[in-house]
Amino acid sequence: MASEHEQSFGLGVGNKSVKLADPNQSWHEAYLLEEAAIRKALGDLAVDVQHFGSTSIPTIKAKPIIDIAVGVRRFEDGLACVEPMASIGYVYAGSNIVPDDHIFGRDIQGDTRTHLVHVVEYGGPTWRNFLIFRDRLRREPDLAHAYEALKIELAAKYANDRASYTAAKKDFIQKILSEGA
């Protein structure tokens, strides 16, 4: 896909690093363009497509990577997405990294990640968790800012270790999910 879009939207973080950017209203536009491309590529395989992750929360800092959830009828249908997603520039990372999640990434300039697509069962636990967390942060500014403060602290601590940064956020995320929608 066109890397000029990723650059014009200020997207991209080195694959192992953590860099937070100020909220950018163009991230929603970047998502909408990508959603259209994904829907066109996947056709009926995609039951729904949603923007989630920190770039979908318009008031907080985020790694400038667009996280997208694609809901498919059955988890196994994620394998049928590999070829169509490759046709729009995505590399399949597999389904053994995160349970019940087919992960696709798109990079520019070799190792700068701009988009991460999670193909999961529509309506399943992973799908619901993505949306519950996003919707809670959108509705509750204090909660969103608490999450942002945690992210800022962890980004300073794990600037070159994205795996540890991600793992250190899990308790906060699980607490929100345990409270429900």
Q: What is the pLDDT along the chain (181 residues), one digit of tens a residue?
A: 444 455 568 888 887 889 999 999 999 999 999 999 999 999 999 999 999 999 999 999 999 999 999 999 999 999 999 999 999 999 999 998 888 999 999 987 778 889 999 999 999 999 999 999 999 999 999 999 999 999 999 999 999 999 999 999 999 999 999 997 6
Here the CATH number for the domain that contains residue 26 is 3.30.460.10
State which residues form the domain around 17: 3-179
* CA distances for 152 relative to 9, 105, 179, angstroms: 21, 24, 23
* CA distances for 126 relative to 4, 17, 23, 132, 155, angstroms: 32, 25, 25, 10, 25
* CA distances for 180 relative to 40, 98, 139, 169, angstroms: 33, 21, 13, 17
pLDDT computed for residue 144 by the predictor: 98
Q: How many domains does the chain have?
A: 1
Whole-prediction pTM: 0.92
pLDDT computed for residue 8 by the predictor: 60
pLDDT computed for residue 7 by the predictor: 54
pLDDT computed for residue 137 by the predictor: 97
pLDDT computed for residue 5 by the predictor: 52
pLDDT computed for residue 125 by the predictor: 96
Contact in structure between 70 and 119 (CB atoms under 8 Å): yes
Q: What is the DSSP letter of 174?
A: H
